[in-house]
């Protein structure tokens, strides 16, 4: 697998401002909005997003659901529910990988060409950023290889620090012993 894929981009910013066929929401299983990126997406999209989410029922960890984007610049929102970090011994890595796989299954099904992800599970859900970054980039690269119709995947990191961690992971730098101190 090539180290850099021109269809994969890391940026720092606010995902609610991103124009794409879909942005991904790190949702909770009730799909009713919440804190972090979920709250920001619901605020920017408006009430209609919540109303559509209410028709969908619950979304189990690792699965994904698609809605319209309403007032967002993005056409769709793909809501996925990441695992809550519980120390790493409860299948969290597999569940996080499944989030990315579930999102790309919807991207394929709906013929979407551009998609933007936040760093799923690394906020309130507490997944260590280093570890999550490696799973995210591995799954995104695998999907890009499998889906030539996807033109661009952007990972939108909220802080310069998050961007730096992902940049190192993308460059293939080894995971530091004990993490980078956070």
With contacts defined by CB under 6 A, how many residues of the chain interact with ligand ADP? 20
Which listed residue (82, 92, 104, 170) binds ligand ADP by CB under 6 A? 82
Q: Is 33 helix (H, G, I), strand (E, B) or coil?
A: coil
Distance between CA atoms of residues 20 and 115, nearest Å: 6
- CB of residue 171 to ligand ADP, shortest distance in Å: 20
Least distance (Å) between residue 30 CB and ligand ADP: 12
- The H or E element spanning position 53 is helix 47-54
* Residue 70 is a binding residue for ligand ADP (CB under 6 A): no
Distance of CA 9 to the CA centre of its chain: 13
Please identify which residue in the block is written with the tokens 């980078």: 180
Q: Which residues contact 60 (CB under 8 A, 6 or more apart)?
A: 29, 81
We find the least distance from the C-beta atom of residue 156 to ligand ADP, in angstroms, to be 5
- Residues of this chain, 83-142, that bind ligand ADP according to CB under 6 A: 118-125
Give the residue from 96, 118, 104 showing the smallest Cα distance to 148: 104
CB of 45 to ligand ADP, least distance (A): 12
Taking CB under 6 A as the criterion, which residues in 38-57 touch ligand ADP? 38, 40
The single residue among 8, 20, 22, 37 that binds ligand ADP, judged by CB under 6 A, is 37
Burial of 149 (C-beta count, 10 Å sphere; 0-12/13-18/19+): exposed
Chain residues that interact with ligand ADP, rule: CB under 6 A: 14-16, 26, 36-38, 40, 82, 118-125, 156, 158, 162
């Amino acid at each position: 697998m090539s180290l850099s894929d021109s269809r994969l981009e890391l940026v720092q910013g606010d995902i609610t401002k991103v124009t794409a066929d879909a942005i991904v929401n790190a949702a909770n299983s009730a799909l009713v909005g919440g804190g972090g990126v979920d709250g920001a997406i619901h605020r920017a999209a408006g009430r209609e997003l919540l109303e559509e989410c209410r028709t969908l029922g619950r979304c189990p960890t690792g699965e994904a659901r698609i809605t319209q984007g309403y007032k967002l610049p993005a056409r769709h929102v793909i809501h996925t529910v990441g695992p809550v970090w519980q120390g790493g011994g409860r299948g969290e890595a597999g569940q996080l990988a499944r989030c990315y796989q579930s999102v790309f299954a919807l991207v394929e099904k709906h013929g979407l060409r551009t998609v933007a992800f936040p760093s799923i599970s690394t906020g309130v859900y507490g997944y260590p950023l280093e570890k999550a970054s490696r799973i995210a980039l591995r799954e995104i690269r695998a999907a890009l290889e499998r889906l030539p119709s996807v033109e661009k995947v952007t990972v939108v990191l909220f802080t310069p620090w998050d961007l730096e961690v992902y940049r190192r992971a993308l460059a293939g730098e080894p995971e530091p012993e004990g993490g980078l101190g956070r």
